[in-house]
Amino acid sequence: MLYYQPKLVAPAGPLTGMEALIRWQSPKHGFLTPDRFLPQAEKSGLIVPIGNWVICRQMKVWVEQGHSDWSVAVNLSAVQLEHISLVDVVRTALETHELSPTHLVLEVTESTAMHDAEASLKVLNKLSALGLSISIDDFGTGYSSLLYLKHLPANELKIDRGFITELAQGNDDEAIIQAIIALGKTLGMKIVAEGVETPEQQELLTRLGCDTLQGYLLGRPGPADAQTKKVEHPEKKPELAPAFQ
């Protein structure tokens, strides 16, 4: 099943879109998060049809409901990135659902993009040529080459939640985040911080220059219908507080 987590303009909205997050309601094991089953899906090759199923599945509905300014972010695994049909699958999905490429963001982790940097660059350039956005996920955790990073057709950097968890004013995580933001801005990218869980993190990340925030404070993952209801019937919040709870 597909869950979605809101992404909001810092500090508290408006909403710019959702990230698609896959879950499995197993008859035997119950409700499972991705870390419990995606490794097996990658080993078996099932990650390819699963990934194809995720792309654009819900965005068409939101456009028809009037949310044409949203985008949906979909994670790409290393197996998908290396699959020969990926570009055609994405192109077909956009055409089938009659969506603009601007409605789709493909997220690829730093380590995945650097696994085979030359091959990744070719595929990501083809995907970018379709007009969609590329986001480098979990940035700062891998061993990427800045030489390749500047050539990747990425529009967005997502700061890994590991830097956000212990973020406090004046500590090393703040310095690292400042450096990542400066790097991303220099390369013309938007900066997204995920894992935002406290108002203090929300305020500090906004002040440091993050464009978009994502995390439990701003909105927990949930089914598409539930997320739409929260947008259409928001609770009243004090200034700077998030639009989702």
Q: What is the pLDDT of residues 24-77, one digit of tens each?
A: 999 999 999 999 999 999 999 899 999 889 998 899 999 999 999 999 999 999
Give the contacts of 214 (CB within 8 A, at least 6 positions apart).
Answer: 5, 6, 7, 8, 19, 192, 193, 194, 195, 196
Q: What is the pLDDT of residues 170-220, one digit of tens each?
A: 778 899 899 999 999 999 999 999 999 999 999 999 999 999 999 999 999
What is the pLDDT at residue 235?
67
**pTM for this entry:** 0.90
Half-sphere exposure at residue 223, Cβ-oriented, CA atoms within 13 angstroms: 6
Domain ranges of the chain: 2-231
Helices (H), the chain: 34-44, 47-54, 59-64, 78-82, 86-96, 110-115, 117-129, 146-149, 161-165, 172-186, 199-208, 224-232
Nearest to 149 by CA among 177, 178, 176, 188: 188
CATH of 2-231, one of 2.60.40.10, 3.20.20.450, 3.30.70.20, 1.10.10.10: 3.20.20.450
